[in-house]
Chain A
Amino acid sequence: MNKVITINLNGVAYQLEEGGYDALRAYLDNAVRRLEGNPDRDEIITDIEQAIADKFRAVLGAHKTVVNLKEVSDVLAEMGPVEDTTGGPAAESGAAPREQGRATGPGRAEEYAAPGARRLYRIEDGAMIAGVCNGLAAYVNLDVTIVRLAFALLTVLWGAGVVVYLVMAIIVPAARTPTEKAAASGMAATAQEFIRRAREGYYEGMRSFHDKESRRAWKRKFRQEMRGWKHGYQQQQAQYWRSWSQNWSHGWQQGCNPAPPSAPPPIVGPVFIAPLLSILLFALVVLMCWAIYSLATSHAFLGVALPASMPLWVGILLVVVAYQLVAWPIKSARYACYFPGHYRHGGPFGGLFGSLIGLFFLGFGVWYLDRHVPEFHQWLVELPGLLHRGIDVVQSWFTKTP
């Protein structure tokens, strides 16, 4: 006997075994991710859900009201992975004949099963060389750029970065299947992830219900589900089933209610702040380009000249580093404006105020230390020399090896 979760597909409720729900959730999340940037994304997802609903209906009947895990897996294998038709990563498997798809049904079930704990993988989507930094960043939940900088610094200062990178590239496996990719960023491992997905599911449900009465029923039902997840499953399931069926039949019998549901309050602040941040970011980019250009032509920028012995490319590298450091919190803030609660650029400092405060503290910290701690000030002054020595090491290493 297994737990049952009720889902909404385009306005009709289906009951899935818990494992089946996880598989379906993983499939749909994967589909949303694959279709990122596609202007018809929502419509395609709606169509996909409708097709899935049709297939579910085919296995249900008067005496069978629950879709079990195997049936869900079979349906998902039949559907095939969603690919953005500009030739996504599933290009080859998407064109495979249907017989092949059915034969690998049971095998695919493991692919779509709920992802487990966070694991270290190389992530090759969007990677610069081999995806080592990409995977490490997902594992540690930091911005990729930070990890890449760390590797670059490691290389420049001690020359070891290259070796570490190669070792990792050979040993760390690449995340290929959807399960591995999900595990690489630690999805579904924390309560926060459940809550985020619950919120998404809630809004999806709200969008696909079109009349007020079923929206109410959905909201009530969904709120109960949420509480259940936080406070323990068993008694919540029983209570949920009873009140849901009551509300559902009540709603269908009554069939009329003039009061509209309250809309979520519009978020005004980020609507104004986000464009400002974008402008600031653009200004930073312009500043960086100007700095690079000025360094390239006259080896000086705003009157601050490069130390004569420092090669040009180091100067440019420093400018890019400085830009990324300053831009990172700004980008996080801007992202947070559009997706409140979603942290893309790294943990608790990802929120709008979090990142602004972070940047403020960083600047204040540097300034304070510089003024009050003589050793820090000394170290700051020596920093160019240190980098210079590091560069010499790397250069001599390059010229030594044939």
Chain B
Amino acid sequence: MSLEEKFTAIRKGLLEFLVLKIISADKVYAADILKELNATEFATQEGTLYPLLSKMRREELVDYEWKESESGPPRKYYELTAKGRDALRETSDYWQKISGTVKNLGQK
């Protein structure tokens, strides 16, 4: 198994967290989220992202409005809700904690 394959589960688990971070920085279209992620190791596809965004909207972490884009029909323009900001903060703290653990484990 290559390194990428070993970390598949981790990437999948972190996806929601990363999407929250991306949306918190700026209001975005779904296509923008994909563009940003595809420049990193966390590249993902529409088939994964759209159901995830739907789930996050159901959980009231994000909300969208219909906004005209340069070409074609109006698209969903996503932003973070207050609940989403709290969730992001919580997850960020938890991430700090576990990445601290990962860093310190095994060191004398």
CB of B26 within 8 Å of the partner chain: no
Given the contacts A43-B54, A50-B75, A95 and B30 also touching, CB distance less than 8 Å: no
CB of A225 within 8 Å of the partner chain: no
CB of A98 within 8 Å of the partner chain: yes
CB of B31 within 8 Å of the partner chain: yes
| CB-based contact A84/B51 at 8 Å | yes
| CB-based contact A31/B73 at 8 Å | no
Given the contacts A38-B54, A54-B72, A97-B41, A80 and B12 also touching, CB distance less than 8 Å: no
CB of A83 within 8 Å of the partner chain: yes
Cα A80 to Cα B37 in complex, Å, equals: 15
CB of A85 within 8 Å of the partner chain: yes
| CB-based contact B31/A91 at 8 Å | no
| CB-based contact B41/A47 at 8 Å | no
Choose from A35, A48, A79, A95 the contact partner of B8 (Cβ within 8 Å): A95
Cα A38 to Cα B48 in complex, Å, equals: 14
Q: Which residues of B contact A57 (CB under 8 A)?
A: 71-72
Given the contacts A47-B76, A51-B31, A91-B12, A101 and B54 also touching, CB distance less than 8 Å: no
Which of A31, A54, A78, A90 is the most central at the interface, judged by chain B CB atoms within 10 Å of its CB?
A54
CB of B24 within 8 Å of the partner chain: no
Cα A50 to Cα B54 in complex, Å, equals: 15
| CB-based contact A82/B43 at 8 Å | no
Cα A48 to Cα B47 in complex, Å, equals: 7
| CB-based contact A83/B73 at 8 Å | no
B contact residues, total (Cβ < 8 Å): 29
CB of B57 within 8 Å of the partner chain: yes
Cβ proximity bits B1-21 to A, threshold 8 Å, 1 near / 0 not: 000100011011001000000
Chain A: CB-nearest residue to B54 = A40
Q: Which residues of A contact B51 (CB under 8 A)?
A: 35, 38, 40, 44, 82-85
| CB-based contact A82/B58 at 8 Å | no
Q: Which residues of A contact B31 (CB under 8 A)?
A: 51, 54
Chain A: CB-nearest residue to B40 = A97
Q: Which residues of A contact B38 (CB under 8 A)?
A: 98
Cβ proximity bits A16-54 to B, threshold 8 Å, 1 near / 0 not: 000000000000000100010011100110011011011
Q: Could you tell me which residues of chain B, from 78 to 95, have a CB within 8 Å of some CB in chain A?
A: none
Cα A79 to Cα B51 in complex, Å, equals: 12
Cα A67 to Cα B94 in complex, Å, equals: 47
Q: Report B's interface with A, CB cutoff 8 A.
A: 4, 8-9, 11-12, 15, 30-31, 38, 41, 43-48, 50-55, 57-58, 71-73, 75-76
Q: Report A's interface with B, CB cutoff 8 A.
A: 10-12, 31, 35, 38-40, 43-44, 47-48, 50-51, 53-54, 57, 78-85, 90-92, 94-99, 101
In the assembled complex, 13 residue pairs joining A and B whose CB atoms fall closer than 8 Å, in A order, are A10-B73, A12-B73, A38-B51, A40-B57, A48-B46, A78-B46, A79-B46, A81-B47, A85-B52, A92-B8, A94-B44, A95-B11, A98-B43
